[in-house]
Amino acid sequence: MENYRTLGRSGLRVSPLCLGGMTFGNDWGWGADEKTSAQIIRNFMDAGGNFIDTASVYTNGHSEKIIGDVIGNSSSLRSKTVIGTKFSGNIFPGNPNGGGAGTNAIMASCEQSLRRLKTDYIDLLSIHQWDWDTPLEETMRTLNRLVESGKVRYLGVSYAPSWKIAQAQVLADWKNWTPFIGLQIEYSLLERTIESELVPMAQELGLGITPWSPLKGGMLSGKYIAGKEKTSGTRLGDTGRDLNIDDRTAKILAALGRIAESYHTSIAAVALAWVMHKPGVASTIIGIRNPDQLDANIAATRLTLQAGDISTLDELSPPPPTFVTNHLETARMFQHGGIEINGRKPAALPLVANMQAGKY
């Protein structure tokens, strides 16, 4: 796993896998206890991982505390660990300023996270849920103040439309404020809708993508086979979600099984490797509840998928078309005139085709 990448347009080096902290603490009824969580963190770092992601709201703040008890109590571990946390969630019922992205909420959340993490700086602070009730200028100005104070090193964002993130990046550039370098979004073979807008936006504006739920909440872990569904003891079952293996999902799982067999590895490793191969992806977030799951996920870092296998999975899992993606080939037809440009040769407009055929 010691094949580090820079996160977005920055000098921050992160491991190809990021250890997600939403499973740290069983306060929500399905995570790992403190002892198991601490062991997972140590095993992850022993394997070369250096990037840990959490949020102020995860297990009501317990996740940050567990990370702080392991990392914050050791100066040697802290110096080589990239800790990312997120704000805007409210864990204080009845307090209207306990969440969101206003100045009061941001400053208070940052101080609380620093205390729980037992550190004097946060490597990557991200907006968790976008706050539509706070002016963007207030949010970006406050975040820039935190960076200038030294309490935060870099900024990221999650759960926001591409146009809003682009607006924030332009505002930061105009005001000489700190821009975002990380984009945390859901990405898997079963969730590819980000590819039409968010992925190209991130690549253009310098944000490294850190996908979450790359196994779609365990759906792509290899635990579930059509006709043999069993969710007891799994995250799907513990969180009360239904297991719905439709035809599309069944075909993807079958292909993953065949590819995994050819590489002598697991379905989960192939599904993870597919995400890690995608353009713009810097570090993929994994959710772990026991050390065995960690070992299975790390196997993906040793797997290099052949182009044909990636194409097979791409063809089985296309995202639903949007206006933009629907219009791409039409746009090229109008622009290219049937000429190949950058490896693409679209059909010519009927008028051009008829002229080439000598009909005019």
Per-residue pLDDT in tens (0 to 9) along the chain, 360 residues: 889 999 999 999 999 999 999 999 999 999 999 999 999 999 999 999 999 999 999 999 999 999 999 999 888 899 999 999 999 999 998 999 999 999 999 999 999 999 999 999 999 999 999 999 999 999 999 999 999 999 999 999 999 999 999 999 999 999 999 999 999 999 999 999 999 999 999 999 999 999 999 999 999 999 886 555 555 555 555 555 567 789 999 999 999 999 999 999 999 999 999 999 999 999 999 999 999 999 999 999 999 999 999 999 999 999 998 888 888 878 887 787 778 888 888 777 765 555 556 554
Neighbouring C-beta atoms of residue 98, cutoff 10 Å = 17
Range of the domain at 349: 323-356
Tokens of 18: 């990021």
Give the three-class secondary structure for 112: helix
> What local confidence, expressed as pLDDT, does residue 230 receive?
57
How many structural domains compose the chain? Answer: 2
Q: Is 159 a catalytic residue?
A: no
Same domain, 221 and 327: no
**Residue 332 has what pLDDT?**
80
pLDDT at res. 103: 98
Cβ atoms of 225 and 301 within 8 Å: the answer is no
Residue 77 CA to residue 81 CA, distance in Å, equals 6
Does residue 134 share a domain with residue 55?
yes
| 111 and 158 inside one domain | yes
Alpha-carbon torsion 326, 331, 337, 338, what sign?
A: negative
Distance CA 49, CA 260 (A): 24
Do 329 and 243 belong to one domain? no
Cα end-to-end span (Å), the chain: 62
- pTM of the prediction? 0.91
Task: Check whether residue 308 and residue 339 sit in a common domain.
Answer: no
Answer yes or no: do 38 and 100 share one domain: yes
Q: What is the pLDDT of residue 339?
A: 84
**What are residue 88's phi and psi, to 5 degrees?**
115, -20
According to the model, what pLDDT value does residue 2 have? 81
**Are 348 and 259 members of one domain?**
no
In 245-323, DSSP assigns E strands to 284-287
Question: Cα(164)–Cα(131) distance, rounded to whole angstroms?
Answer: 11
Catalytic pick among 58, 154, 187, 224: 58
Claim to verify: residue 271 and residue 349 sit in the same structural domain: no
CB 12 within 8 A of CB 4: no
SS3 183: strand
- Asked if residue 243 and residue 341 are part of one domain, the reply reads no
Half-sphere exposure of 23 (CA within 13 A, CB side): 27
Q: Are residues 352 and 237 in the same domain?
A: no
Q: Which pLDDT value is given to residue 260?
A: 97
Cα–Cα dist 350/35, whole Å: 68
Cβ(119)–Cβ(74) under 8 Å? no
**Cα separations (Å) of 118 from 65, 67, 71?**
8, 9, 8
C-alpha distance from residue 318 to each of 16, 105, 190, 311 (Å): 24, 39, 9, 11
Q: Which two tokens stand for residue 278?
A: 């995608």
Q: What is the pLDDT of residue 357?
A: 60
| Total H helices, total E strands in the chain | 14, 10
CB 182 within 8 A of CB 207: yes
Taking alpha carbons only, the member of 8, 152, 13, 149 closest to residue 81 is 13
Q: Are residues 327 and 209 part of one domain?
A: no
Q: Are both 289 and 203 inside the same structural domain?
A: yes
- CATH number, position 21: 3.20.20.100
Q: What is the pLDDT of residue 221?
A: 92
- Spatial neighbors of 176 by CB under 8 A, at least 6 apart, are none
Q: How much is the pLDDT for 345?
A: 83
Q: Are strands 5-6 and 13-14 parallel, antiparallel or unpaired?
A: antiparallel
**Contact predicate 88/101, CB 8 Å:** yes
φ/ψ bin of 161: left (φ > 0), alpha (ψ from -120 to 50), beta (otherwise): beta
